[in-house]
A and B are shown apart, each in its own frame.
Chain A
């Protein structure tokens, strides 16, 4: 489906947000790398569905009623086989928070290689239109609010200056014995989201807020592991 169709479908169902799969399809349409995935309705379907995927795998519950999947017990990672995936789905299905919710299915994904967690987000400012944000993941964004904003559309120089502005910028270069991560890959994602012909400029009126959290960035590339688009 195109972005316009994904948004129309979510609106037709009176959803407040794109579900994770739709969000990732939207991102993929703008050239942002997302994990390979399938969606199944129950554990029984998992066995054949995962045949084309390479472990380790992650399973996530898909529900319009569950905002924070991890808190509800709806995320399981590091699964090595179809059998483990099936077990994980069965275990989730009986959890109270999941049992009580409308379930669209279970998203089974290949896991991204390890790397630095980055958050890319957006919020629509009433005066200036879409803003794009970048920050380092985890405590950097949640506790320290170490983030940089720009008004869209951004240029490559804007994107580079956003990264330079982060207090934790040194981590991207591989501080404390870690491997450096690809700044170019982050800049590339920022431009695909917030650039001249990027997602936010093409969907100016569609979203009030968006989060790609995390975007996992390695030495060579970046993968959007979770995505959330709040419909306007």
Chain B
């Protein structure tokens, strides 16, 4: 099965249809991008007359290339594409059609059908039409300008090309690393569930993300997800979750069944995590990328540790609403923390609120003592450390935050696998702070620690992890 998808994710030969000899059309940009991105295979520009395109030998048709084509990128007017595929029968594995004017408009439905028939008759898989393409770091193919080269573990399927670009770019800045991202356009042939099948089997992919507007083969998707029993976390960002068709409902049940209901049911029955916004999508992918689910003891008890009294209170409320328990410590932990004789203004009950004046003790390494007591006596299943960087600025030497972070990391190594550790770095948009935050974020991510901008982001992601762990706990394996 993986073999069938290899020409898509790791093509050796790429044909590009629609590049102009003047070198400024979208397919020319595609050629330039994949060369810059390090694509090492052969590129065959297809052009009826031009001998070369962008310095590469051009061929008059998809049938005339020196070797069969693993991946054809096609961006010419739609009407000519079915015939173009017909002449190349048996010579193309994946045909990705960028062009629009197919099934997404009424007058293009017939054309889409002819396109599909030509692809099927020629033994090709069709990606799209109306589809931007694929970002596959292991194959060095990409459709976006900014394409990280690192091969990550998050596999994404997007029914929107534009949003696919957003997911890559925002994912990059937040630390999400992709094993692939496929935009599927109209899904005339290759559907989200086909790609789900690949990602579920692909060893490189640890986490799967979907942006879906309409499930083209919802039944199949449901059955695959159910059979998978959440062996890999699946995060679904569903567009168009408003009710429709309710006016026509002829029964109570019909009037109560919005579009949303089926997706909520799907998430309950298959363990998928349903999210509402692009930010939540990225946040949730990040937690699954970085932390290992603990189905044996699903996350419930959470300890919050950091600076900011109001922030701690608001976060406690937020976490409680999400079903996470920020309960005060029992006596042994309270006694141990009290014995540290932290300065006045420090609250040690959970949430543990340490003002900057506390955290700067011993130049920041006091955090190690506090966290050590929390881990050994408080027994959290997750610890969220939050630092309001604005409150440190100008009051402490620059290395204090760094020392607090280092102290926290040392404690992790003393209690391996005991608790999920999340870091929230709060800033106020000040350029200098943002730059420092980026440095901290990168070094934390390099150590496998997810970093969030605000407590609510961390809370939502942790709740998603909890839901996944609970599903595995009751239904896994």
User: A17 — which chain B residues lie within 8 A by C-beta?
Assistant: 250
A213 touching B262 by the CB < 8 A rule?
no
Q: Does A1 contact B (CB under 8 A)?
A: no
Chain A 123-162 near chain B by CB (<8 Å), digits 1 or 0: 1010111010101000001100101011100100110010
- Beta-carbon nearest neighbor of A145 in chain B: B256
Chain A 108-135 near chain B by CB (<8 Å), digits 1 or 0: 0000000000010111010111010101
**Stretch of B91-99, B212-220, B278-286, B460-468 lying at the A interface:** B212-220
User: A82 — which chain B residues lie within 8 A by C-beta?
Assistant: none
User: A210 — which chain B residues lie within 8 A by C-beta?
Assistant: 251, 253
Q: Find A149's partner among B214, B219, B252, B257 (CB 8 Å cutoff).
A: B257
Q: Does B32 contact A (CB under 8 A)?
A: no
Q: Does A230 contact B (CB under 8 A)?
A: yes
A128-B218, A128-B222, A128-B262 given; A209·B268 CB < 8 A: no
A149-B264, A149-B265 given; A127·B253 CB < 8 A: no
Q: Does B475 contact A (CB under 8 A)?
A: yes
User: B257 — which chain A residues lie within 8 A by C-beta?
Assistant: 123, 125, 131, 133, 149
Alpha-carbon distance between A123 and B259 when the two chains are bound, in angstroms: 11
Name the prevailing secondary structure of the A interface residues.
strand
User: A133 — which chain B residues lie within 8 A by C-beta?
Assistant: 253, 256-257, 261
Q: From residue B257, how far is it (CB to closest CB) to chain A in Å?
A: 4
User: B397 — which chain A residues lie within 8 A by C-beta?
Assistant: none
Q: Find A127's partner among B218, B250, B268 (CB 8 Å cutoff).
A: B218
User: A211 — which chain B residues lie within 8 A by C-beta?
Assistant: 251-253
A123 touching B265 by the CB < 8 A rule?
no
A149-B261, A151-B222 given; A123·B251 CB < 8 A: yes
Q: From residue A119, how far is it (CB to closest CB) to chain B in Å?
A: 6
B253 touching A151 by the CB < 8 A rule?
no
- Beta-carbon nearest neighbor of B257 in chain A: A123
B251 touching A151 by the CB < 8 A rule?
no
Q: From residue B182, how far is it (CB to closest CB) to chain A in Å?
A: 20
Q: Which of A194-232 contact B (CB under 8 A)?
A: 208-211, 213, 228, 230
Q: Does B49 contact A (CB under 8 A)?
A: no
A127-B219, A157-B474 given; A150·B269 CB < 8 A: yes
Chain B 230-258 near chain A by CB (<8 Å), digits 1 or 0: 00000000000000000001111110110
Q: From residue B239, how far is it (CB to closest CB) to chain A in Å?
A: 14
User: B252 — which chain A residues lie within 8 A by C-beta?
Assistant: 119, 121, 141-142, 211, 213
- Beta-carbon nearest neighbor of A119 in chain B: B252
User: B214 — which chain A residues lie within 8 A by C-beta?
Assistant: 127
User: A157 — which chain B residues lie within 8 A by C-beta?
Assistant: 474-475
Alpha-carbon distance between A102 and B216 when the two chains are bound, in angstroms: 42
Q: Find A131's partner among B215, B217, B262, B475 (CB 8 Å cutoff).
A: B262
User: A151 — which chain B residues lie within 8 A by C-beta?
Assistant: 222, 262, 265-266, 269
- Beta-carbon nearest neighbor of A141 in chain B: B252
Task: Using C-beta atoms within 8 Å of the partner chain, give the interface range for chain A.
Answer: 20 to 34
B218 touching A121 by the CB < 8 A rule?
no
Alpha-carbon distance between A71 and B181 when the two chains are bound, in angstroms: 56
| Interface residues on chain B, number (Cβ under 8 Å) | 24
User: B474 — which chain A residues lie within 8 A by C-beta?
Assistant: 157
Chain A 78-116 near chain B by CB (<8 Å), digits 1 or 0: 000000000000000000000000000000000000000
Alpha-carbon distance between A17 and B250 when the two chains are bound, in angstroms: 10
Alpha-carbon distance between A201 and B437 when the two chains are bound, in angstroms: 54
B261 touching A131 by the CB < 8 A rule?
yes
User: B475 — which chain A residues lie within 8 A by C-beta?
Assistant: 157
- Beta-carbon nearest neighbor of A142 in chain B: B252
Q: Find B256's partner among A127, A129, A147, A230 (CB 8 Å cutoff).
A: A147
Q: From residue A111, how far is it (CB to closest CB) to chain B in Å?
A: 22
A230 touching B251 by the CB < 8 A rule?
yes
A125-B257, A127-B218, A128-B215 given; A149·B262 CB < 8 A: yes
Alpha-carbon distance between A145 and B257 when the two chains are bound, in angstroms: 10
- Beta-carbon nearest neighbor of A146 in chain B: B256
Alpha-carbon distance between A228 and B253 when the two chains are bound, in angstroms: 11
B268 touching A121 by the CB < 8 A rule?
no
Q: From residue A120, how far is it (CB to closest CB) to chain B in Å?
A: 9
Chain B 189-227 near chain A by CB (<8 Å), digits 1 or 0: 000000000000000000000000011111100100000
Alpha-carbon distance between A147 and B214 when the two chains are bound, in angstroms: 23
User: A147 — which chain B residues lie within 8 A by C-beta?
Assistant: 256
Alpha-carbon distance between A157 and B253 when the two chains are bound, in angstroms: 22
Alpha-carbon distance between A14 and B472 when the two chains are bound, in angstroms: 48
User: B222 — which chain A residues lie within 8 A by C-beta?
Assistant: 128, 151
Q: From residue A162, how far is it (CB to closest CB) to chain B in Å?
A: 8
A125 touching B218 by the CB < 8 A rule?
yes
A150 touching B253 by the CB < 8 A rule?
no
User: B266 — which chain A residues lie within 8 A by C-beta?
Assistant: 128, 151
- Beta-carbon nearest neighbor of A123 in chain B: B257
Alpha-carbon distance between A211 and B253 when the two chains are bound, in angstroms: 6
Alpha-carbon distance between A171 and B232 when the two chains are bound, in angstroms: 37
User: B251 — which chain A residues lie within 8 A by C-beta?
Assistant: 121, 123, 209-211, 228, 230
Alpha-carbon distance between A165 and B216 when the two chains are bound, in angstroms: 28
Alpha-carbon distance between A142 and B256 when the two chains are bound, in angstroms: 9
A128-B262, A209-B249 given; A123·B218 CB < 8 A: no
Alpha-carbon distance between A8 and B254 when the two chains are bound, in angstroms: 23
Q: From residue A224, how far is it (CB to closest CB) to chain B in Å?
A: 14
Q: From residue A219, how far is it (CB to closest CB) to chain B in Å?
A: 26
- Beta-carbon nearest neighbor of A134 in chain B: B253
Alpha-carbon distance between A17 and B261 when the two chains are bound, in angstroms: 24
Alpha-carbon distance between A117 and B89 when the two chains are bound, in angstroms: 62
User: A121 — which chain B residues lie within 8 A by C-beta?
Assistant: 251-254, 256
Alpha-carbon distance between A230 and B257 when the two chains are bound, in angstroms: 15
Q: Find B253's partner among A158, A161, A209 (CB 8 Å cutoff).
A: A209
Q: From residue A137, how far is it (CB to closest CB) to chain B in Å?
A: 10
- Beta-carbon nearest neighbor of A147 in chain B: B256
Alpha-carbon distance between A141 and B475 when the two chains are bound, in angstroms: 29
User: A213 — which chain B residues lie within 8 A by C-beta?
Assistant: 252
Q: From residue A22, how far is it (CB to closest CB) to chain B in Å?
A: 16
Can you list 5 A-B pairs, Cβ within 8 angstroms, ordered by A?
Answer: A17-B250, A119-B253, A123-B251, A128-B219, A211-B252
Chain B residues near A (Cβ < 8 Å): 214-219, 222, 249-254, 256-257, 261-262, 264-266, 268-269, 474-475
What 9 pairs across the A-B complex have the smallest Cβ distances? A121-B253, A127-B218, A149-B261, A209-B251, A123-B257, A128-B218, A127-B215, A209-B254, A211-B251
